[in-house]
Structure 1
Amino acid sequence: MTRTLLCIGAGMLTAGAACAQSSVTLYGIVDSGLAYTNNQQGHSAWQATSGNESGPRWGLIGTEDLGEGLKANFRLENGFNIENGTLGQGGRMFGRQAWVGLGAANWGALTFGRQYNPIQDIISSMQISSTLAQYSTHPFDNDDLNNTFRTNNSAKYVSPSIAGLQATLMYGFSNTADFAVNNSWSAGLSYAHGPLNLGAAYARMNHPGSTTAGAVASSNYYPTSAQVFGVHLANATEQQLWGVSGTYAFGPATLGLVYTGSNFSMAANGALRFNNYEGNVRYSLSPALTAALAYAYTAVAQGETSGHYHQVSAGVQYQLSKRTDVYLNGFYQKASSSIGQAWIDGLAAPSSTTSQLAFVVGMRHKF
Structure 2
Amino acid sequence: MKQTSIALALGALLAAAGAAQAADIQMYGRVDSGLRYTHTKDTGDDKLEMRNNRSTPRVGFNIVEDLGNGVKVKAYLENGFYLDTGSLYTANTLFDRRSILAVQGAWGEIGMGRMGNVQSTVSPYAMGLIKYDPFGTSYGQASIGTAFANTSRTNNAIAWISPKLNGWKVGVTYSLGDKSDEKKNETTPYEDYFDRNHTFSAATDYTGDNLYLSVSYANVSYGSIESADRDSDANLFAVGGWYRFIPEARIFAGAQYQSHWAKAANVELKDITKAATAEEKADGFDGYSLLLGADYVVGQHKVIGGVQYFDGELSNKSDIDHKFTVLAAAYEYKLAKTTWLYFAATQSFQSGEAKTYKNKEATEIMAGLNLNW
Q: Shorter-chain TM-score category?
A: 0.7 to 0.9
1:36 and 2:28 are equivalent in the alignment: no
Q: Which residue of 2 aligns with 1:133?
A: 139
Q: How many residues align?
A: 314
For residue 102 of structure 1, report the CA deviation from its aligned partner.
0.6
Asked whether 1:268 is paired with 2:279, we answer yes
Distance apart, 1:262 and its partner CA:
2.5
- Paired residues of 1:207 and 1:236 also in contact (CA < 8 A): no
Q: How much does 1:243 deviate? A: 1.1
2:75 corresponds in structure 1 to 74
Which of residues 217, 237, 245 is equivalent to 1:242? Answer: 237
Match of 2:171 in 1: 168
- Seen in structure 2, the aligned counterparts of structure 1 residues 66 and 192 have a Cα distance that, compared at 3 Å, is same
Q: 1:165 to 1:5 in 2, by over 3 A?
A: farther
Q: Which residue matches 1:345?
A: none
Kept after mapping to 2: 8 A contact 1:108/1:157 = yes
SS at match of 1:125: helix
1:34-68: CA deviation from partner (whole Å, max 9, x where unpaired) = 11112273311111113x11111101110001011
Question: Per-residue CA shift, 1:323-358, capped at 9, x if unaligned?
Answer: 11011000011112534458xxxxxx643xxx3211
CA contact (8 A) 2:218 2:235 kept: yes
Written as runs of structure 1 = structure 2, the 5 A alignment for 1:303-314 is 303-305=317-319, 306-314=321-329
DSSP-derived class of the 2:38 partner = strand
Instruction: Report the counterpart of residue 216 of structure 1 in structure 2.
Output: none
Give how far 1:152 is off. Answer: 0.6
TM-score using structure 2 length: 0.76
- Please state if 1:113 is matched with 2:126: no
Judge conservation of contact 1:166–1:191 (CA < 8 Å) in 2: yes
CA distance in 1, matches of 2:59, 2:17: 20
The code of the aligned residue for 1:299 comes to: D
User: CA RMSD, aligned part only?
Assistant: 2.8
Q: 2:330 maps to what in 1? A: 315
Bigger drift between 190-199 and 134-143 goes to: 134-143
Relative to structure 1, the CA distance from residue 191 to residue 142 in structure 2 (aligned partners, 3 Å threshold; closer, same or farther) is: closer
Alignment of 1:357 onto 2:363: yes
Q: Relative to 1, partners in 2 of residues 1:90 and 1:209: Cα closer, same or farther, differing over 3 Å?
A: farther
Distance 1:83 1:265, change over 3 A: same
Instruction: Give 1:301 deviation, angstroms.
Output: 1.1
1:83 and 1:9, CA in 2 relative to 1: closer, same or farther beyond 3 A? closer
Larger CA deviation: 333-342 vs 246-255: 333-342
Structure 1 portions without partners, runs of 5+: 11-17, 211-234, 343-348
Structure 1 CA distance for aligned equivalents of residues 259 and 80 of structure 2: 28
1:121-163 CA distance string (max 9 Å, x none): 122121133074142135756512xx7x411101110000000
One-letter amino acid matched to 2:115: Q
SS at match of 2:96: coil
CA contact (8 A) 2:77 2:100 kept: yes
Asked if the contact 1:208–1:239 (Cα under 8 Å) also holds between the matched residues in 2, the reply is no
Amino acid at match of 1:114: R
User: Are the aligned partners of 1:138 and 1:298 in contact in 2 as well (CA < 8 Å)?
Assistant: no
Q: Give the superposition deviation at 1:309.
A: 1.4
Which residue does the alignment assign to 1:251? 247
In structure 1, the partner of 2:186 is none
8 Å Cα contact 1:199/1:246 also seen in 2: yes
1:282 is aligned to 295
Q: Which position in structure 2 is the counterpart of 1:294?
A: 306
Alpha-carbon distance in structure 2 between the residues aligned to 1:312 and 1:97 = 31
Offset of 1:89 from its aligned partner? 4.2
In the TM superposition, what is the alpha-carbon distance from 1:91 to its structure 2 partner?
4.8
Per-residue CA shift, 1:295-333, capped at 9, x if unaligned? 111102122222311211101001110111011000011
TM-score normalised by structure 1 residue count = 0.78
The question of whether the paired residues in 2 share the 8 Å contact of 1:138 and 1:276 is answered with no
Does 255-264 or 64-73 show the bigger shift? 255-264
- The more displaced of 328-337 and 94-103 is 328-337
Cα 1:350/1:184, change in 2 over 3 Å: closer
- Cα deviation for residue 365 of structure 1 reads 0.6
Q: Residue 198 of structure 1 aligns with which residue?
A: 213
Residue-by-residue CA offset, 1:64-110 (whole Å, 9 max, x unaligned): 01011110000110011212222224652111000001102x32101
Q: For the Cα contact (< 8 Å) 1:36–1:46, is it kept in 2?
A: yes
Q: SS at 1:135's partner residue?
A: helix
After TM superposition, list the pairs within 5 Å mapping 1:17-32 onto structure 2: 18=21, 22-32=23-33
Aligned runs of 1:222-237 on 2, under 5 Å? none
Sort the Cα spacing of 1:175 and 1:152 in 2 relative to 1 into closer, same or farther, 3 A. Answer: closer
